[in-house]
Amino acid sequence: MNGVLRPVRLRPSDLVRLGTAGLRARPGRALLAALGIAVGIATMVTVVGISASSQARLLRQLDALGTNLLRVSPGDDLFGDDPVKLPKGAAAAVLRIDGVREAGQTGDTKATVRRNDLIAGEVSLGISVQATSLDLLRTLDGRVRSGTWLNAATERHPAVVLGSVAAERLGLTAPDAQVWIGNRWFTVIGILDRMPLAEEIERSALIGFPAAEEYLDFDGHPTTVYERSDDESVESVRDALARTVSPERPSDAKVSRPSDALKAKAAAAGAFTGLMLGLGAVALFVGAVGVANTMVVAVLERRKEIGLRRSLGATRGQVRTQFLVEALILSVAGGAFGVVGGALATFVYAGVNALPAVVPVWAPGGALGTTLLIGALAGIYPAVRAARVPPSVALTAQ
């Protein structure tokens, strides 16, 4: 109309066909360029997935174990004259606090446990010998893996229950064996299961308070008191614990919540993700450089094609858009393969390590969004360079 020629508008489907034409003509080069993007995206998705899976396990464990367990241990002596000791009736006093359901206590006997009497007494294997009250297992919501727990009869005799780690270090997998504690044999009557909220118990050999006093010259003072209260009473109980255990000197009792350690582990797992994401970003940057290099070479090799399209009426904007779309398709294809690869790696890792497989929803979305941005940045310069090629120069190029 009016003798004015107007360039045909390219539909999205036309742009996709043009963008994929160059990639289909050189599939090997396109595959290698997309592989760089895929490796970077797969690394980042895997790191996020593994971190999220580890955090999920810790949080599930925390939900199952609860946050209503508190621990009382001796505080620091301001003058350093004598070691601080908790009173013998500490657990009984704690039970009188409103909201407390269970309370148990342990006391360090300073003795060592060995597999036999021929091993030097200095060899402890990192295992402590603890006197324990009978209600400790119920307070910690623990389980006996094999054998049995102490009772009113065995707590008075040379009988011992081993924590899971202590049993491993002593090379024992079942009870009915004997170990050397102090200067006599003790019979192993049980082995405990794991206790994530009381890892010190896992590394302990547990005997009754009466037996510890009779056979190991234990003074009867507990070194740790555990209590479990109603969920709604945790804070009020925490405020009252120190004053209840040591009314005259509340500073002699230090109160902590074991579940805080699991929360710290979950936070640490998330913090480590930042470092690994940085490594993934480096791989992604290398992939972006590969895409840009591929597109620059494509522009140089396809100057005749560009000139022909310009001669037939294609505008600079259309040529620029063609190469930009090609770079975007290349990046998104690599990103999609990277997301799938990263998710599969996460599921495999979670399965091998008995973790709940978790890939946050934002991870694949963020990964694909990142590849779009990378494709745009990597394709801008080659696209602009292609658009600036004059038709006359392109048609005569050798």
Partners of 229 in the beta sheet?
100
Residue 180 pLDDT: 93
pLDDT, residue 283, reads 66
Largest CA distance in the chain: 114
In this prediction the pTM is 0.59
Q: What is the pLDDT of residue 79?
A: 54
In which residue ranges of the chain is pLDDT below 50? 1, 397
Distance, in Å, from the CA atom of 106 to the CA atom of 89, rounded to the nearest integer, reads 12
* Of residues 369, 295, 292, 280, the one with CA closest to residue 332: 369
Q: What is the DSSP string of 5-73?
A: --PPPPPHHHHHHHHHHHHHHSHHHHHHHHHHHHHHHHHHHHHHHHHHHHHHHHHHHHHHH-S-EEEEE
For position 169, what pLDDT does the model report? 93
